[in-house]
Amino acid sequence: MAGQRARGKSLVIAAVGWVVAIWIFFPIFWMFLTSFKGEAGAIATPPRLFFVPTLESYHEVFQRANYWRVTFNTLGVSIGATVVALLFSIPAAYAMAFLPGKRTRGTLLWMLSTRMLPPVGVLVPIYLIARNTHLLDTVTGLALVDMFTNMPITVWMLYTFFREIPVPILEAGRMDGANRWQEITRVLLPLATPGIASTALLSMILCWNEAFWSLNLTSSNAAPLAAFIASFSSPEGLFFGKLSAASTLAVAPILAFGWISQKQLVRGLTFGAVK
Amino acid sequence: MATVELKSIRKTYTSEEIIKGVDLSIESKEFVVFVGPSGCGKSTLLRMIAGLEDISSGDLLIDGRRVNDLAPAERGLAMVFQSYALYPHMNVYQNMEFGLKLAKTPEAERREKIMAVARTLQLENYLKHKPGQLSGGQRQRVAIGRAIVRNPKVFLFDEPLSNLDASLRGQMRVELATLHRRLGATTIYVTHDQIEAMTMADKIVVLQKGIVEQVGSPLELYDCPRNLFVAKFIGSPPMNFLPGTVIAASEEQARVRLASGQEIVVVAGGAQGLIGAAVTLGVRPEHVRLGHAVENRGSGQVELVEYLGSAAHLHVRMQDGALLVIQTEGGVRVHADDAVTFSFPAERCHLFNSEGVALHRRSSGRMAA
């Protein structure tokens, strides 16, 4: 009886899981299909599920824009912002986790609160700062902004991971003669590698998908993939085929990346919660 | 080896004082045990000696040199943690090597030292294992090995056996004591287990609420506890305590009337001023004698008998309702509900005044026995 009920319960949970997963995945799936339909097929009503695939949209996308360049820009922004964010976040999270002061808690919450602000609220000052420092439309400028907006999250995540490291292990390192630097690099970081990897992954994904600042702070030189997609939506009206092809091209790398690293990512994001 | 000296050591967290002025000197090669209930400050004191906690005030001297402001490693100490605190990402060899590497010991020398320690601790076959693949006892050995290999002046142990099961604990206790004799290193050992303290220590420091209650050899503490707290804490099963009143006293003896009306003569000095005052009579279960006696008699009914094989513990309800534990030889033929008589040997009894301070005893009962 109890076994049957438990089985029934797990079936329901599985079913709900599938519904949610399909619900979330459907737009991506539809975009993928549309990208192979060509412009005429893309706007056909009723939409067709079965059709003869064509690469026509992709051809046009590659002709109209420099896909490799924008991908390269995106990579630069994502990797650059992530690496620099980690360089600052690791010492910050270390201090907060192991040497907390009276204001640590408050500082953490304050950092997080900056994420609650709508970015558009600081668009003008940031735009002006970027312009005056000649960082407009540069990979460096966009990477800097992405880094700052993501740092609250990377610090929080690392803080949570570091808190899971047993303090006596670090103290043992200190007893063994490790100075602060050695304690971090030789003891803490190797132990926290899974956490740091998850944090890096998440930061990469956030930078990759970031659109607001990409659209506002870059134009031709430093345009990342988000701007690349957007460039297919505007002036001459909507061309769903090309838009879908561009979007597919833009999300494919990060999707593949996420797929490969999903185990790490899930473990990282649920760390502490389930353990 | 090294001496350690604590002078008015204090520790204050925000507004609370955790260690309230500890003075202590530890001789070279001595095995000192800090013992006390949880929260008494024994671990904090150890961590202050280690350099993992700041010293709020007072001086800490190692070999006569003030080390308050030195980093842990510069103090020449090694510590074994309760949780072992091995580096999970390093194998056994690397765990022991870490400190030597940081000290820039040449590789050949490192290898030689580690192999010697591994032989001593029977870890030779596990050098390539990660801590996760080892049993509790083996991890403990690695933790000890990591401490030994650095050849420190002083060893610090923070409840190192409390994560082990009972049989392994007994075995490791013997190993640690043997190791200490072989290395002859000054050792400070923290535990809440009075059996560990009694069996291993040259000197026991009993702590309560950040204050040193008594310092002495295990037998000094057992024979002449300075106050009720130490009397309760040292000895297993714990000492019996019976309330009473002093009715007569001489320079060396006191006559105490218990609540049951029985009168007991106790060897205790300085009770003359306490006539009429409430006192507590203490007697250890192993010192109560079963059977008829002329003096210092008592009687009661057995409520429970615990047979331990080599000994038996009789839980006896006295006439006034007080419960008394008597330890006898294991073969005793006494059962629950039996009436028994017993006596308290005068020279084995302890007397505590209303503040819980022991009255002075003429040397120790052990010499009289």
Instruction: Please name each of the domains of chain B with its CATH number.
Output: 4-226 (3.40.50.300), 237-368 (2.40.50.100)
Per-residue confidence of chain A (275 residues) as pLDDT tens digits? 566 777 888 899 999 999 999 999 898 888 888 888 887 777 777 877 778 888 888 888 888 888 888 889 999 999 999 999 999 999 999 999 999 988 999 999 998 888 888 888 889 999 999 999 999 889 999 999 999 999 999 999 999 999 988 999 999 999 999 999 999 999 999 888 888 988 998 899 899 888 899 888 888 888 888 888 888 776 666 778 888 888 888 888 888 888 887 777 666 655 543 33
Domain that holds residue A155: 65-231
- Choose the closest CB to B81 out of A172, A182, A187: A172
For residues B61 and A227, which has the higher predicted lDDT (pLDDT)?
B61
Q: How much is the pLDDT for A249?
A: 87
Is A177–B103 a contact, with Cβ atoms under 8 angstroms apart? yes
**Taking 80 as the threshold, does the pLDDT of residue B4 lie above it?**
yes
Query: Is A169 in CB contact (< 8 Å) with chain B?
Result: yes
**Minimum Cα–Cα distance from A183: chain B residue:** B102
Any domain includes A18 = no
Is A179 an interface residue toward B (CB < 8 Å)?
yes
pLDDT score of A39? 79
Q: Which of A41-50, B160-169, B273-282, B309-318 is the least confident region?
A: A41-50
CB contact under 8 A, B72 and A191: no
CATH code of the domain containing A143: 1.10.3720.10
Pairs across A and B, CB distance < 8 A: 57
Residue among B49, B77, B86, B98 with most chain A CBs within 10 A, to mutate: B98
Nearest CB among A168, A173, A176 relative to B83 is that of A168
Q: What is the per-residue pLDDT for A269?
A: 59
A149 lies in some domain: yes
Query: Average per-residue pLDDT in chain B?
Result: 90
What are the angstrom distances between the C-alpha of B186 and each of A168, B67, B113, B321? 22, 16, 20, 48
The reported pLDDT for the residue numbered A223 is 85
CB atoms within 10 A of CB A5: 9
Is 50 exceeded by the pLDDT of residue B367? no
Among chain A residues, CA nearest to B76:
A175
- Residue A25 maps to a domain: no
Nearest CA in chain B to A178: B102
Amino acid (1-letter code) at residue B56: S
In this structure, the strands spanning B203-208 and B211-216 are antiparallel
A252 domain residue, yes or no: no
DSSP type of residue B359: P
| Chain B contact for A165 (CB, 8 A cutoff) | no
A173 part of contact set with chain B, CB < 8 Å = yes
Residue A208 lies in a domain: yes
Most confident of the ranges A239-253, B39-53, B158-172:
B39-53
Gap from A87 CA to chain B (nearest CA, Å): 22
Q: Cβ separation of B79 and A175 shorter than 8 Å?
A: yes
**Per-residue pLDDT tens over the stretch B180-210:** 988 888 999 999 988 899 999 999 999 999 9
Residue B49: list chain A partners with CB under 8 A. Answer: none
Q: How far apart are CA B11 and CA B49, in angstroms?
A: 12
Structure tokens at B20: 């309230």
Confidence category of residue B369, pLDDT binned at 50, 70, 90: very low
Read off the pLDDT of each residue in B225-233 and give the average, rounded to a whole number.
93
Q: What is the pLDDT of residue A236?
A: 61
Cβ contact, residue pair B52, A175, below 8 Å: yes
* Residue A81 burial (10 A CB sphere; 0-12, 13-18, 19+): buried
Q: What's the pLDDT band for B166 if we cut at 50, 70, 90? A: confident
Distance in Å, alpha carbon of A162 to nearest chain B alpha carbon: 15
Q: What is the pLDDT of residue A273?
A: 39
Rounded percentage of chain B residues whose pLDDT exceeds 90: 60
Residue A268: the pLDDT is 60
Question: ipTM, 2 decimals?
Answer: 0.84
* B96-120 tens-digit pLDDT: 999 999 999 999 999 999 999 999 8
Determine the Cα–Cα distance for residues B252 and B272; give it in Å rounded to an integer: 9
- Residues B296-304 have a mean pLDDT of 90
Is A256 domain-assigned? no
Average pLDDT of the segment spanning B357-363: 75
How many domains is chain A built from?
1
pLDDT bracket for residue B33 (50, 70, 90) = very high
Residue A76 lies in a domain: yes
B132–A contact, CB cutoff 8 A: no
Q: Are strands B289-290 and B339-343 parallel, antiparallel or unpaired?
A: antiparallel
Does some domain include residue A118?
A: yes
- CA–CA gap between residue B4 and residue B24 (Å, rounded): 8
| Among B residues 138-197, those touching chain A with beta carbons less than 8 Å apart | 146, 150
DSSP run (H or E) holding A19: helix A2-34
Which residues of chain B neighbour A172 with C-beta distances below 8 Å? Answer: 79, 81, 85-87, 146
Q: Under an 8 A CB cutoff, do B85 and A191 touch?
A: no
Tell me: cis bond preceding B237? Omega within 30 of 0 counts: yes
- The DSSP bridge pattern shows strands B31-35 and B203-208 to be parallel
Annotate A225-269 with three-state secondary structure.
Answer: HHHHHHCCCCCCCCCHHHHHHHHHHHHHHHHHHHHHCHHHHHHHH
Q: How many CB atoms lie within 10 A of CB A108?
A: 18
**Inter-chain contact B88–A182, Cβ cutoff 8 Å?**
no
